[in-house]
Every structure is written in structure tokens, then in C-alpha cells.
Amino acid sequence: MDNSAAESGHTSDESVIALVDDDRNILTSVSIALQAEGFTTRVYSDGETALKALLENPPDLAVFDIKMPKMDGLELLRRVRRESVLPVIFLTSKDDERDEEIGLELGADDYIAKPFSLRLLLARIRAILRRADHINSGEQGDPDQSQTIIARGRLYMDPSRHHVTWNEQPVSLTVTEFLILEALAGRPGVIKSRNQLMDAAYPDDVFVDDRTVDSHIKRMRRKFRQVDGEFDAIDTLYGAGYSFTDG
């Protein structure tokens, strides 16, 4: 099932949002709310149907429910991540903390627990899209971070192209991971608290907890260790935060 927003008086957003959920009431209510804000929506009621469409005609962002028949949201994200860094928000149940952790490790950019407010979901969608736009356009919202190329030892980051290499080997990062790493590598040796990293990656007072940042760091390390098993440039300073050092 594919549903695109009709033209309306709203012109503030032209982004395409894909919604994947087996609950048709959620699909309908969220789709209507997004269309009212000027987004275009595509809705899918199962993961198998969504996978082909997401890879062949990618949206700007996708929202996956985790608990679905045929192919759940975790498996859907796992398969999408083989070919795409499409920004993804997970919908989870409040008692599914393990699913949230797995989702972030697989490459989700954010998660929101059911029951959720449409206002919060809209805020998180906009925050992630703005982060992606800043990277794609080379714009800069944080004066502490440079949009020029970052070269720190074996690390190379080109924010304008969302391109990262380590030892000249490409490393695929999500938007959230990229901004956290940029905040760290922009000032090597400087300890960044979790709050500072959350501010870098989640502007506009979008709340995330500490373990979200920790999960992003853990996943980043794993990605770098896939190209360099000795990677240790992101240091954990317990009780303080993280720093980047590549001497």
C-alpha cells in the first residue's frame, strides 16, 4: 500500500516519510498528521512489502514499528542497512528496552515508545531531517563544529558529502553517528560529556537519554573495527564522557 499526500496549502516540508506498521489505525493517524504538516507519506502494513519499496525508491526518512508479522522492524532495518543509511525512527513498546538497544546497534537514528504523542514524533522527524540537511548542504548550526574537511590522523571526514574513511577505508555512518563523531574529532583530546554529544546530535531540545549516546558510540566503534581491528581512537572517560584521540 502506498499513499502520497495530496497537494495542500502547506509548503513548509516536502520530505517523503515512509511509515511501516501493521496497525492500520496508527498508519492512518500518523499519515494524516504528517500530511497536515506538509510531508508526503508512503505507508506499508508489513516489512516484506516495505523493504523492496524502501530500497528501490528511498524516502527521506522512515518510521518502523518493531513488532510486525512476516518481517519485524529489526529484521527490516537489518536488511535496509546492508544498502542504505536511510534515517530510521523505531516505534517500540515501553517494556522493550532490549529491542531499543538492538535497534540502535543495527543503525536506527532514534526511537519513540508507544503510546506516543504525534507532537513528539513530528519533533523527532524534523530534528533528524534537519541534521541530514545540514550534512548534505554543508550548512552549520554549531559554531563549535566545522563543516570543512576533518583530517585527524587516520580519520578523514567530509561533512559536505557525509563521507568518512579510516586508513583510507570507507566507514558508513548514520546521520546521528556522523554528528557525534564530528563533535569528538573536531576537538581531539577534549572530553565531551554525554550532554554535549546529545546537543550536537539532537538539537532543538529533543530529549534522549544517556544510553542512546552510549549505544551510538558502541555501534560506531564496531563499524570502525570492521576496517581496523585495533581501532581505539574513541576513549571512554567514566563519569565524564568521551574523547577522540588518534596519536
Within 10 angstroms of residue 230's Cβ, the number of other Cβ atoms is: 7
pLDDT score at 2: 42
pLDDT score at 135: 64
pLDDT score at 236: 93
Domains of the chain: 16-135 (3.40.50.2300), 139-244 (1.10.10.10)
Full strand arrangement of the beta sheet holding 150-152? 150-152, 155-158, 163-166, 169-170
3-state secondary structure of 48: helix
Residue ranges in the chain whose pLDDT is less than 50: 1-12, 140-146
* Dihedrals phi, psi of 242, to nearest 5 degrees: -135, 155
> Which of 164, 77, 84, 179 lies closest to 128, judged by CA?
179
